[in-house]
A = this chain, B = another copy of it.
Amino acid sequence: MNKSVIIVAGGMGTRMNSTIPKQFIELKGIPVLMHTIMCFHHYDSGISIRVVLPSDQLATWEGLCLKHSFKIKHECVAGGKIRYQSVKNGLNNLSAGILVAIHDGVRPLVSQLTISHCFNAAEKYGAAIPVSDVHETLRQVQGDKSITVNRADYRLVQTPQVFLSDILLESYKTPYQESFTDDASVIEYCGHHVTLVEGNRENIKLTSPVDLKIAEALLK
């Protein structure tokens, strides 16, 4: 089955205390987003790559690709105000009958194994997302109180979230709901089932300066 990945990079630098959007911050000399693109290119050099960026960052990105002589072929799409809209823009003109991964632009540490798990399970079951166990005691807050819950019953969700394009295209016709925190929640809202596969612990989302330090160490 043909494969496609939509890399959503809509972030600003706010929580990074940076004026540079977090996907453009350099890790080991190149922007985070280039590392992320490379993960998918290494997985399958024939995969079709689409990058969704805020419209006012498209020119900057083009400049960065020139500066770093970044040659991996990819298409750029302007994002929307919220993640849901950005993904929707990324889905424009996508073919039916293919597998589509949606991935966070600021997760440059996704492993080849995680990507492969997700595509394989999605081909078989229609939709697959990578998860990891919760390693700390977990509490649920209820008003002023909080209780310990059984952490073995919970999973932390990563990306790429991979789907048969037909399911995704149909589901993204639904108007936005507040409960849509990721792509899996959109297709589940439309009655589809999502399969959980094992992610990799290093596959963190870079949102704070601490995460950048961690990523720098893990890329070594």
Identify the A interface with B (CB < 8 A). 131, 134-142, 145-149, 151, 153-158, 179, 181-182, 184-185, 188, 193-194, 196, 201-202, 205, 207-208, 210, 213-214, 216-218, 220
When C-beta atoms are compared, the residue in chain B nearest to A185 turns out to be: B148
Besides A137-B184, A201-B210, A213-B220, 9 other A-B contacts (C-beta < 8 A): A136-B157, A138-B154, A138-B155, A148-B179, A154-B154, A202-B210, A214-B217, A214-B218, A217-B218
Contact B153 A137, beta carbon cutoff 8 Å: no
When C-beta atoms are compared, the residue in chain B nearest to A220 turns out to be: B213
| Majority-rule SS of A interface residues | mixed
When C-beta atoms are compared, the residue in chain B nearest to A149 turns out to be: B154
CA distance A205 to B134 in the complex (A): 12
Number of copies: 2
Q: A18: shortest Cβ distance to chain B, in Å?
A: 17
Q: A185: shortest Cβ distance to chain B, in Å?
A: 5
Q: Which residues of B sit under 8 angstroms from A156, Cβ to Cβ?
A: 134, 136-138
Q: A212: shortest Cβ distance to chain B, in Å?
A: 10
Nearest 6 Cβ contacts at the A-B interface: A217-B217, A137-B157, A136-B156, A137-B182, A139-B155, A148-B185
CA distance A220 to B218 in the complex (A): 14
Return the contact of A146 from the options B146, B155, B158, B208 (Cβ within 8 A): B155
**Residue from A141, A154, A201 having most chain B Cβ neighbours under 10 A:** A154
When C-beta atoms are compared, the residue in chain B nearest to A217 turns out to be: B217
23 CB < 8 A contacts A-B: A131-B139, A135-B205, A135-B207, A136-B157, A137-B156, A138-B155, A139-B157, A140-B154, A141-B154, A141-B196, A142-B153, A146-B196, A147-B188, A148-B181, A148-B185, A148-B188, A201-B208, A201-B210, A213-B217, A214-B218, A216-B217, A217-B217, A217-B218
**Residue from A135, A139, A155 having most chain B Cβ neighbours under 10 A:** A139
CA distance A139 to B139 in the complex (A): 14
Given contacts A137-B182, A157-B137, A218 and B207 within 8 Å (CB-CB):
no
Q: Which residues of B sit under 8 angstroms from A202, Cβ to Cβ?
A: 210
